[in-house]
A and B are shown apart, each in its own frame.
Chain A
Amino acid sequence: MRRLMSGNEALARGAFEAGVTVGAGYPGTPSTEILENLARYKPDVYCEWSPNEKVAFEVAAGASLAGARSIVTMKHVGLNVAADPLMTLSYISVEGGFVACVADDPGMHSSQNEQDTRNYARFAKIPLFEPSDSQEARDFLKLAIQVSEEFKTPVILRTTTRVSHSRSLVEIGERILSEKKIGLVKNPPRFVPIPVWGRPMRRRVEDRLIRLKAFSESSPANRLEWRDKSLGIITSSIAYQYAREVWPKASVLKLGMSYPFPDSMIREFAAGVSNLLIVEELDDFIEQHVRALGLACRGRDVVPGIMELSVDRLLAARARYEGRPVEEPKPFAFSDRLPPRPPVLCPGCPHRGIFYSLAKREVVVTGDIGCYSLGAFPPLDRMDSILCMGGGISMAHGLEKAGEPCPVVGIVGDSTFFHSGITGLLNISYNRGSSTIIVLDNRTTAMTGHQDHPGTGRTLMGEATKAVSIEDIGRACGIERVCVVNPYNLDQTSQVISDEITADEPSLIVSRAPCPLREKKRVGVSRKILPEKCKGCKLCLNLGCPAIEGGEDGPRINETLCAGCGLCEQVCPAGAVISGGRA
């Protein structure tokens, strides 16, 4: 039976069919839907959102040591967080099949960098699979579990935004369960990498890599497609699909198991074609290896390595390859008249009250990753740096210790606080900092589509659980000034921020209001502007609310979009904003 599935749905299907019984992860675009879809197979599969990728990785690793087949899911930057367990799980090896599904984001659609996860496979000396569509996503996940169990190695399955979020047809199959009995078979020389046992592990990793290389040569995931032999293309992942459109007649070596490299296959292919071209997205991972084999090829000189590929960009690459002039697309005459439409904080977003209150002050704001990253855009314009998850808290402390003359405010979301904010807060308390930390607690992981986290009181399996209190954690970390504000109350929020940034000890402000998108209801009654009272000062436009439309006749409120948060009513000095009636 064929079904239309996104790459992420297909990975979940593959995991289900492969007999996976434990899945863990942390949400991150474009990986999030893998685990959400796998959780739909409950109770056959146990799934959880862990507080961060490192924890998720370790949960799945533990399950594997018990003999269960497991997967862990994350976006590319999540693997940086989980790099510690990754590097050593490679040594201690796995028991039940273990696959880390990692989704890269070429083009940085929803990410702060463009790193290429393939490098991690080589770094950790473990196999790498790269599907190019949903069918392969399902097939390769199953194959990855097999390879993992056979070679007792963790495996990375790498997708990209376009593989994860494209839909295509998938032939599905039955679930096949492992016959392994669950239970850790004690074996310290295998599982405990203290030096005396770790050194032999180190050698076994290299032996395993040699055996994996032999397997890769005959892996069904690597495929020679002989067509016209004047040009041969080596490619992987979504780049394969684009290359097939742009060079339909060329021969192709498609790498699905792209590490360790199938050297004999690469040599055979290179010998069979007159010219060799490497078409890959992001780093020149394949090209460097092909060159190291002593094979002449082209690649990065014509195929760009920055930002994602597309048929358009490969058409230009083909022109460069063939020495033809590259046709630049002609923009329409009206293109420069179109107003940009960047993503914005939604109408009624509780983060707006905090950013608006901060905008009135001389402070440095260090933030991180989430919807609140959007606070960096004008007119709110109140985020001065973003480094990584939880980074705003620790960086605020660093700025302060360096002698930053302005008060420093670190911003973190609720899910991000649990992810990697707690240790930073602990550090501020321990090392006698005085930064003000604001947790934007909208009771969900909003940006990735409203996933639960340790503070929400609900698990991915849909069960009620303890809702961990951010204030309690703050106090346990040693922060004595802990307070909660309602971000829809601008006076209160403003006053609390004033008090806390001037205090000479660290403070934790929890800005608490649920995400209206998650609640699926308005915050309050929608507002409208009385034109006769409006003085045209446009202060309401400083809120950056999509529901307030500016115009030559003065601002007006789009009632369909208005979520009724009432911030504009509080901001208006003329009393021109009133409740409009829609509840």
Chain B
Amino acid sequence: MSEMGNVPKQTDQSKETKSIVLVGVGGQGILLASEILAQTAMLEGYDVKTNEVHGMAQRGGSVMAQIRYGKEVHSPLVARNEAHILGALEKVEALRYADYLRPDGLAAVSTQAIMPVTVSSGGAQYPQDAEELLKQAFPRLVYIDAAKIAGDLGDIRAANIVLLGAISQGLDLAMESWEKAIALCVKEKFLEINRKAFTAGRCHS
């Protein structure tokens, strides 16, 4: 897995609670990715808590899901500066939630840019140098074109699972459990594409 910057990989702290934040835009499939991750951690025998946003926030707004697993987990919410991994399906959303990631945490960001209506209707600007800002914000950055990879595999909607595959490399969870979890969470007819998408993300370099 390619990482920009030269910060060393985190040491294995399997007893510590791991915190993951997934962000994107309503409708991108953040909730499914979160569910698969949580199921995987459960299959590995961890205590797991997740949180997600429903209702108003899903109408094209900014969306966040949070997953924490470990020996005993109390809060379902991730604190600022706590997340080991930030997975983002959209560039500006990655930047918006950057302060959830701990300084040595890993950010996996899809290259996608989705214009908010605040930009289209004239008032706000989408930062043209988003990629540069990402590099500044995240010393450990995996920058992946999840939408293209998913599109090439046959369904652009599987970009969420490509991203999940990418962040899976930063987590101490076995491939076997990931596979089981995907089978548990995904409808039969979408299983094949999602398996491929996950593997493509996991092998991304």
Residues of A within 8 A of B (CB): 2, 4, 29-30, 32-33, 109-110, 133, 162, 165-169, 238, 241-242, 244-245, 310-312, 315, 329, 331-332, 334-335, 337-346, 371, 373-374, 377-379, 447-449, 538, 541-542, 544-546, 548-550, 555, 558, 560
Distance of B180 from chain A, by nearest CB (Å): 13
- Measured CA separation A378–B119 after assembly (Å): 11
Distance of B74 from chain A, by nearest CB (Å): 4
B163 lies within 8 A of chain A by Cβ: no
A residues less than 8 Å from B116 (CB atoms)? 339-342
- Interface digits, B97-141 against A, CB 8 Å rule (1 contact, 0 not)? 011000000000000000111111111111100000100110000
Query: Is B118's CB under 8 angstroms from A339's CB?
Result: yes
Query: Is A346's CB under 8 angstroms from B75's CB?
Result: no
Query: Is B54's CB under 8 angstroms from A165's CB?
Result: yes
Nearest first, the 8 closest Cβ-Cβ pairs linking A and B are: A110-B55, A29-B55, A343-B61, A339-B124, A166-B76, A343-B59, A341-B116, A550-B120
Across the interface, B56 reaches (CB within 8 A) one of A32, A109, A315, A555, namely A109
Across the interface, A342 reaches (CB within 8 A) one of B52, B54, B95, B118, namely B118
- Measured CA separation A343–B60 after assembly (Å): 5
Chain A residue at smallest Cβ distance from B100? A312
B79 lies within 8 A of chain A by Cβ: yes
Known A4-B48, A30-B54, A341-B92: A310·B77 in contact at CB below 8 Å: yes
B175 lies within 8 A of chain A by Cβ: no
Chain A residue at smallest Cβ distance from B52? A165
- Interface digits, B32-70 against A, CB 8 Å rule (1 contact, 0 not)? 000100110010000111111111111111100000000
Across the interface, A4 reaches (CB within 8 A) one of B39, B62, B77, B126, namely B39
Query: Is A167's CB under 8 angstroms from B59's CB?
Result: no
- Measured CA separation A2–B119 after assembly (Å): 46
B residues less than 8 Å from A378 (CB atoms)? 121, 123
Q: How many residues of B contact A (CB 8 A)?
A: 53
- Measured CA separation A545–B49 after assembly (Å): 36
B residues less than 8 Å from A560 (CB atoms)? 156
- List 11 additional A-B contacts (Cβ < 8 Å) besides A332-B99, A541-B120: A30-B54, A109-B56, A167-B48, A167-B50, A167-B51, A245-B75, A312-B80, A329-B80, A342-B116, A448-B55, A449-B54
Would you list 21 pairs from A and B whose C-beta atoms are within 8 A, ordered by A residue? Answer: A4-B42, A4-B48, A109-B56, A110-B54, A167-B49, A167-B50, A169-B48, A311-B79, A334-B136, A341-B25, A341-B116, A343-B58, A343-B59, A346-B60, A371-B59, A378-B123, A379-B117, A379-B121, A538-B122, A546-B60, A550-B120
Known A310-B77, A332-B98, A341-B93: A550·B115 in contact at CB below 8 Å: yes
Query: Is A109's CB under 8 angstroms from B55's CB?
Result: yes
A residues less than 8 Å from B29 (CB atoms)? none
Query: Is A548's CB under 8 angstroms from B137's CB?
Result: no
Query: Is A340's CB under 8 angstroms from B124's CB?
Result: yes
B96 lies within 8 A of chain A by Cβ: yes
Interface of B is mostly: mixed
Distance of B71 from chain A, by nearest CB (Å): 13
Known A341-B116, A538-B122, A555-B120: A329·B79 in contact at CB below 8 Å: no
- Measured CA separation A373–B59 after assembly (Å): 12
Distance of B182 from chain A, by nearest CB (Å): 14
Query: Is B60's CB under 8 angstroms from A241's CB?
Result: no
- Measured CA separation A206–B87 after assembly (Å): 54
Chain B residue at smallest Cβ distance from A32? B54
B residues less than 8 Å from A242 (CB atoms)? 74-75, 77
Query: Is B121's CB under 8 angstroms from A541's CB?
Result: yes
B26 lies within 8 A of chain A by Cβ: yes
Chain B residue at smallest Cβ distance from A330? B99
Across the interface, A550 reaches (CB within 8 A) one of B48, B49, B59, B121, namely B121
- Measured CA separation A377–B53 after assembly (Å): 20
B residues less than 8 Å from A545 (CB atoms)? 117, 120
Query: Is A334's CB under 8 angstroms from B95's CB?
Result: yes
- Measured CA separation A227–B2 after assembly (Å): 46
Distance of A235 from chain B, by nearest CB (Å): 12
Distance of A252 from chain B, by nearest CB (Å): 11
Distance of B131 from chain A, by nearest CB (Å): 12
- Measured CA separation A300–B38 after assembly (Å): 35
Interface centre among A110, A343, A544, A548 (most CB of B within 10 A): A343
- Measured CA separation A538–B120 after assembly (Å): 10
B residues less than 8 Å from A133 (CB atoms)? 49, 76
- Measured CA separation A556–B82 after assembly (Å): 39
Query: Is A338's CB under 8 angstroms from B96's CB?
Result: yes
Query: Is B74's CB under 8 angstroms from A110's CB?
Result: no
A residues less than 8 Å from B95 (CB atoms)? 332, 334-335, 338
Known A162-B77, A166-B76, A329-B80: A344·B59 in contact at CB below 8 Å: yes
Query: Is B92's CB under 8 angstroms from A311's CB?
Result: no
Query: Is A109's CB under 8 angstroms from B80's CB?
Result: no
B residues less than 8 Å from A345 (CB atoms)? 59
Distance of A508 from chain B, by nearest CB (Å): 27
Distance of A378 from chain B, by nearest CB (Å): 6
Distance of A337 from chain B, by nearest CB (Å): 5
Distance of A78 from chain B, by nearest CB (Å): 14
- Measured CA separation A329–B99 after assembly (Å): 9
- Measured CA separation A495–B126 after assembly (Å): 37
Query: Is A168's CB under 8 angstroms from B125's CB?
Result: no
Query: Is A311's CB under 8 angstroms from B77's CB?
Result: yes
B residues less than 8 Å from A342 (CB atoms)? 61, 116-118
Distance of B128 from chain A, by nearest CB (Å): 10
Query: Is A344's CB under 8 angstroms from B115's CB?
Result: no
A residues less than 8 Å from B99 (CB atoms)? 329, 331-332
Query: Is A548's CB under 8 angstroms from B120's CB?
Result: yes
Distance of A444 from chain B, by nearest CB (Å): 14
Across the interface, B137 reaches (CB within 8 A) one of A2, A109, A332, namely A332
Distance of A270 from chain B, by nearest CB (Å): 23
